[in-house]
């Protein structure tokens, strides 16, 4: 019986597909990886995610597959680590193997008047970013500087696009979707503008460089580049300089300003917490001098509130990916060199074993029975291990000094009844973002 051309093609296609599935299934079983949802050919487990709320989907999967499970993006497996105890266990046993940051596909592509009603998003972004500007560029920008305002607007837009549904899809399929028209391509357009801004700043520094008197990070880097220009293995070259500056801006601006925005929203909801902070500021600092980092150890309640804001805000719920630098065995599973590992930070920050009311805002999570500040092992908003956030120290200083300085001088008041203020994060976003709001900042001298 002859099949004909169509029948032959169908038979060949069926046999090819069957052969592919057998090989693919065999590869999937190799390596004794942790269990997880059954991946589909080509797609992996992406259909198990809600693109609008990916972190929540991951936590739901952990309820079925446990605190260590495998999740496939295409054919690439990633090991997900859930819960404070599990995260600390893997860092204690294999911290040296989790010391390399994994650049996700898209990151590889990209990083080659007082008392008046206002939205704090712009002012906080400008204030926090100017700290980075002082370190990197040796100068701060005026808040009305159009170039500065455009820079921050572009950074906010990239952050918004990255956590959107289309942004999440782009991060899963960067090499494919970057060639397909759509709104997701705006990320590349905006990033090109940021890249050019950084290049212009570096060129300006190069033209005015005095090697005997470095002004900032860029000058210091350029001097080191010149010293090692004959070293072919040096890390001090142009691309690393540009990439480091971009990293500092993204990491040092968006997360800190978001945390402050979230914190002020919470204080609008709970004015009694704000009153306690005001009393502690008055007792320790007073109104006639600026706060300093030496004050923090004497202000346990304020310190506890800031820690609880970071825990509750949970700005980067999924954490940043690591790549295993050598083969390891964890809880009986073999994780091969190069495998992506995600320490799911939100599962530690909301771990009921360590926080009595993990879904509620409660400064008592960081206070003992005597009202003294107490540490909590599950507090890891900056990740943990050897590759914890390099800017953690700067971020802690920024949060304390901005927070206390503003509350030393102002009373924050809402524009609506406090019962109508919603402090749960903006829905359908893959990063945690406070809901949009406006507020009054009333000088305490007028109250």
Partnered with residue 440 across adjacent β-strands are 117, 413
- Domain residue ranges of the chain, discontinuous segments joined by +: 1-30, 113-312+400-446
Partnered with residue 71 across adjacent β-strands are 78
**Which tens digits make up the pLDDT trace of 81-119?**
888 888 888 888 887 777 555 555 555 565 554 476 677
**Which tens digits make up the pLDDT trace of 112-153?**
544 766 778 778 888 888 888 888 888 888 888 888 888 888
Contact 404, 285 (CB under 8 A): yes
Q: Which structure tokens are listed for 31?
A: 């390596």
Q: Are strands 439-443 and 410-414 parallel, antiparallel or unpaired?
A: antiparallel
d(CA 280, CA 404): 10
Contact 295, 284 (CB under 8 A): yes
d(CA 53, CA 413): 31
- The per-residue pLDDT for 7 is 52
- The per-residue pLDDT for 395 is 82
Residue whose C-alpha is closest to residue 341's, from 384, 296, 381, 374: 384
Top CATH class of 113-312+400-446 equals mainly alpha
Residue 209 main-chain phi, psi, to 5 deg: -70, 130
**Which tens digits make up the pLDDT trace of 231-279?**
888 889 988 898 888 877 776 777 888 899 999 999 999 999 999 999 9
Enumerate residues 6+ apart whose C-beta is below 8 A from 139: 133, 216
- The position carrying tokens 């997880």 is 36
pTM reported for the whole predicted model: 0.76
Q: Which structure tokens are listed for 279?
A: 């009393």
Stretches where the chain sits below pLDDT 50 are 1, 3, 12, 19-20, 22-24, 26-28, 113-114
% of residues, the chain, pLDDT over 70: 85
User: What 3 state SS string does the chain have?
Assistant: CCCHHHHHHHHHHHHHHHHHHHHHHHHHHCCCCCCCCCCECCCECHHHCCCCCHHHHHHHHHHHHCCEEEEEECCEEEEEEECHHHHHHHHHHHHHHHCEECCCHHHHHHHCCCCCEECCHHHHHHHHHHHHHHHHCCCCCCCCCHHHHHHHHHHHHHHHHHCCHHHHHHHHCHHHHCCCCCHHHHHHHHHHHHHHHHHHHHHHHHHCCCCCCCCCHHHHHHHHHHHCCCCCCCCCCHHHHHHHHHHHHHHHHHHHHHHHHHHHHHHHHCHHHHHHHHHHHHHHCCCCCCCCHHHHHHCHHHHHHHHHHHHHHCCCCCCCCEECCCCEEECCEEECCCCEEEEEHHHHHCCCCCCCCCCCCCHHHHECCCCCECCCCCCCCCCCCCCCCCCHHHHHHHHHHHHHHHHHHEEEEECCCHHHCCCCCCCCCCCCCCCCCCEEEEEHHHC
* CA-based max dimension of the chain: 99
d(CA 211, CA 130): 24
């Amino acid at each position: 019986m002859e099949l004909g051309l169509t029948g032959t093609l169908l038979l060949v296609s069926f046999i090819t597909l069957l052969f592919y599935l057998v090989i693919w299934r065999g590869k999937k079983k190799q390596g004794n990886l942790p269990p997880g949802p059954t991946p589909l050919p080509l797609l992996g487990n992406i259909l198990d995610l809600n693109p609008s709320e990916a972190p929540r989907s991951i936590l739901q999967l952990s309820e079925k597959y446990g605190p260590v499970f495998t999740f496939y993006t295409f054919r690439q497996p990633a090991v997900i680590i859930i819960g404070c105890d599990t995260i600390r266990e893997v860092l204690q046993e294999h911290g040296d193997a989790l010391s390399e940051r994994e650049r996700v596909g898209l990151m590889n592509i990209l990083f080659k008047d007082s008392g008046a009603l206002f939205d704090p998003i712009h002012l906080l972004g400008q204030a926090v970013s100017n700290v980075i500007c002082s370190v990197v560029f040796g100068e701060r920008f005026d808040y009305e500087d159009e170039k500065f305002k455009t820079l921050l607007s572009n950074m906010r837009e990239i952050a918004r696009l990255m956590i959107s549904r289309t942004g999440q899809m782009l991060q899963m399929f960067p090499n494919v979707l970057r060639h397909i028209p759509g709104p997701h391509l705006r990320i590349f357009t905006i990033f090109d503008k940021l890249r050019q801004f950084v290049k212009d700043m570096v060129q300006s520094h190069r033209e005015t460089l005095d090697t005997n008197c470095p002004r900032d990070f860029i000058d210091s880097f350029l001097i080191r580049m010149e010293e090692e220009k004959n070293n072919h293995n040096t890390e001090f070259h142009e691309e690393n300089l540009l990439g480091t500056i971009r990293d500092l801006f993204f990491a040092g601006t968006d997360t800190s300003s978001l945390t402050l925005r979230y914190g002020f929203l919470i204080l609008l909801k709970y004015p009694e917490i704000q009153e306690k902070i005001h009393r502690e500021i008055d007792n320790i600092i007073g109104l006639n001098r600026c706060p300093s980092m030496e004050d923090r150890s004497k202000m346990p309640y304020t310190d506890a509130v800031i820690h609880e804001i970071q825990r509750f805000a949970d700005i980067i719920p999924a954490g940043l990916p690591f790549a295993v630098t050598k083969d390891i065995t964890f809880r009986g599973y073999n994780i091969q060199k190069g495998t992506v590992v995600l320490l799911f930070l939100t599962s530690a920050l909301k771990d009921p074993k360590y926080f009595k009311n993990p879904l509620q805002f409660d400064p008592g999570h960081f206070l003992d029975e005597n009202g003294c500040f107490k540490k909590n092992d599950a507090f890891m908003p900056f990740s943990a291990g050897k590759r914890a956030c390099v800017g953690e120290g700067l971020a802690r200083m920024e949060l304390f000094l901005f927070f206390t300085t503003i509350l030393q001088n102002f009373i924050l008041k809402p524009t609506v009844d406090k019962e109508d203020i919603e402090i749960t994060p903006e829905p359908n976003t893959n990063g945690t973002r406070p809901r949009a709001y406006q507020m009054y900042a009333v000088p305490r001298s007028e109250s």
